[in-house]
Amino acid sequence: MEQNKINLPPQIESAMHRLEQCGFEAFAVGGCVRDSLIGRVPNDWDITTSARPDETAACFSDCRVIETGIKHGTVGVLMDGMLLEITTYRCDGAYLDNRHPENVTFSAHVEDDFSRRDFTVNAMAYRSADGVVDLFGGRADLGSRVIRAVGDPKTRFEEDGLRILRAIRFASVLDFTVEENTARAVHECRGLLSNIAAERIREEFCKLLCGMGAVRILREYADVIGTFLPELLRMIGFDQNTKYHCYDVFEHTLHALEEDVSGDLITRLAVLFHDVGKPLCYTEDELGGHFKGHAPIGVEITDGLMHRLRFDNDTVARVKLLVELHDLPFSAERRTVKRLMRRLSDEDIMRLMEIKRCDRLAHAEFFRQPPPELEQIPEIVRELREEAACLSLKDLRINGDDLIRMGLKPGKHIGEILRYLLEEVIEERLPNERKALLEAAEDLL
């Protein structure tokens, strides 16, 4: 945190130097400064400048200039293969829709630009001549691992409701805490998230879910998450009333998430939603609580909430299938694994094993030991791949033409015979060898 020198990419250094040569100020600003100061490699580099958009464009007249954001002061410049976003110092007008300013006023003072930013750790700038420029205590908050709003937090959130989710996303990804007044405003203003587009909610939430502090943030801000995922609120405090569980449904889910170290979005979504159907199918008898059918109900709920947040169809399908299968037992037998491989990609089988492992580790202590099959199944998958095992009709050593040459007339019965032979091969009652398959087909005929 004592670092005062940041190694800028040559394109950024060159662009800032060019603006200064033209008589303007220029700084690297925002997340790139924050990440550099904590030893992270920035994903994006942004430049802020006293130059007006047309002046910026003139400075880079020999480069490709993209003006799609020029209304709000941003000029894109393609420089040595890197797309730079260069934005004029600005003051924002009123935020009537809790998301976008009605108008933007350009300023000649960098202080005006800093004061409109969301959090102190994002309101720092850098240039080689001055080092880090920090007007709102962002470096101190980085050192204290705190997310704090610039100025009054309620004002910041009422300007842009997405900042509510960004606050807890940064806290999760950086494993920081949210400063007390900012945290209070996050809870109080959470209703503003209803004004935010589903795609933006999804984007921030996915980053939050994969962050180091995700479990802590989900627990502390469940009411905020519940504004766009109300299905999770039913799980809070829902006692499972069984000797196999020592947590309510929500806490069980959070403990399962805590066990996952993959950082993989599909895995973490499936873990988060794997028991979402439990509160809707609870029954109780003298033996305790039961949740029969919670997986298919969970699939239905998962489908609804993921489509509501505009997840792509492939991600929805993968997560739903993992939720469907998470509670089923799987033996480490080759034919069982073959059937699993017909439904899931190898990658998703590994995800399923991880989900089942995390699920088991979040049970009561006596029932936490994951079954050995969770380690054995991935090894069998690898063996079957090395053997090029027959798993589909295209892997069979005979096809419909072979059956026609044996005298069968074209028709649906050819497919039925091939599917029968495939089942016999998968069950290892028949080898995937041309001679054996033809003989078996002849016997059928």
pLDDT tens, residue by residue, 290-309: 999 999 999 999 999 999 99
What proportions of the chain, in percent to the nearest 5, are helix, strand and coil? 55, 10, 35
Distance CA 292, CA 421 (A): 35
Helix (H) or strand (E) holding 10: helix 10-21
Residues of the chain with pLDDT under 70: 1-3, 92-103
Contact 352, 246 (CB under 8 A): no
C-alpha dist (Å) from residue 176 to 77, 166, 183, 206, 314: 34, 13, 12, 17, 32
Contact 75, 86 (CB under 8 A): yes
Specify the DSSP class assigned to residue 179. Answer: P
What integer pLDDT is reported at residue 1 of this predicted model?
43
- Looking up tokens 């800028």 gives 8
pLDDT tens, residue by residue, 145-187: 999 999 999 999 999 999 999 999 999 999 999 999 999 999 9
In this structure, what are the phi and psi dihedrals at residue 240, rounded to the nearest 5 degrees?
Answer: -85, -20
C-alpha dist (Å) from residue 90 to 60, 103, 389: 20, 10, 63
What integer pLDDT is reported at residue 311 of this predicted model?
98
Domains of the chain: 10-136 (3.30.460.10), 145-228 (1.10.110.30), 257-389 (no CATH), 393-444 (1.10.246)
Give the global pTM.
Answer: 0.90
Contact 365, 406 (CB under 8 A): no
DSSP per-residue codes, 191-220: GGGGGS-HHHHHHHHHHHHTSTTHHHHHHH
Distance CA 179, CA 385 (A): 51
